[in-house]
């Protein structure tokens, strides 16, 4: 129920603001895009959603430099910001949103444990990125990441 309320709130905000959005998702693999398009009329604001799950896709589709991923990792503030900025430019939207993280159960490290997620929003007036340490199994981490992204979108879109 909480998720549906945030989806509805985001839908209304985007419609009323007459702004557009694009998403670049890694660990959520399109979950945010699916949520953003749950309601009729979403085509007025939702322009593009890409699931750039692999580093190769991040480079080929979003143009993320290999050096950024090598230096910082695919799960990093720098990569998340590049994903958000580049998807916004690619889709020519007002907002670009990205999610990259480690949903588990494998793939974590002491520096970046399972549940580490970066969510970035790029807008013409600036960019922001938040780091989260989410708990639970793979499904819970992915759902929480999508919910956190909706919350950030709601704070950004006015």
Q: Between 4 and 152, whose confidence is greater?
A: 152
- pLDDT, residue 6, reads 85
* Residue 152 exposure: Cα atoms within 13 Å on the Cβ side: 27
Residue 7: inside a domain: no
Residue 116: inside a domain: yes
Alpha helices in 19-122 (DSSP H): 31-36, 55-62, 66-72, 77-91
Number of domains in the chain: 1
Residue 106: inside a domain: yes
- Judge whether residue 54 has pLDDT over 90: yes
Residue 39: inside a domain: yes
Residue 136: inside a domain: yes
Could you tell me the CATH number of the domain that includes residue 127? 3.90.950.20
pTM across the whole model: 0.97
Q: Which of 81, 152, 92 is nearest to 120 (CA)?
A: 81
Per residue in 94-133, pLDDT tens?
999 999 999 999 999 999 999 999 999 999 999 999 999 9
| Residue 146 belongs to domain spanning | 20-156
- Identify the burial level of 48 via C-beta atoms within 10 angstroms of its C-beta, where 0-12 means exposed, 13-18 middle and 19 or more buried: middle
CA distances from 67 to 48, 72, 74, 82 (A): 26, 8, 11, 12
Residue 14: inside a domain: no
């Amino acid at each position: 129920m909480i998720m549906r309320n945030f989806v509805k709130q985001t839908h209304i905000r985007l419609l009323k603001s007459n702004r557009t959005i694009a998403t670049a998702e890694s660990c959520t693999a399109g979950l945010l895009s699916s949520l953003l398009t749950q309601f009729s009329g979403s085509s007025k604001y939702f322009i593009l959603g890409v699931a750039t799950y692999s580093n190769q896709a991040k480079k080929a589709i979003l143009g993320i430099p290999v050096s950024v991923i090598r230096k910082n990792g695919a799960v990093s503030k720098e990569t998340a910001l590049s994903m958000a900025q580049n998807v916004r430019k690619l889709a020519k939207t007002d907002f670009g949103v990205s999610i990259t993280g480690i949903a588990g159960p494998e793939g974590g490290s002491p520096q970046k444990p399972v549940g580490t997620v970066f969510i970035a929003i790029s807008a013409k007036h600036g960019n922001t990125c938040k780091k989260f340490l989410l708990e639970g199994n793979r499904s819970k981490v992915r759902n929480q990441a999508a919910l956190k992204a909706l919350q950030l979108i709601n704070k950004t879109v006015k």
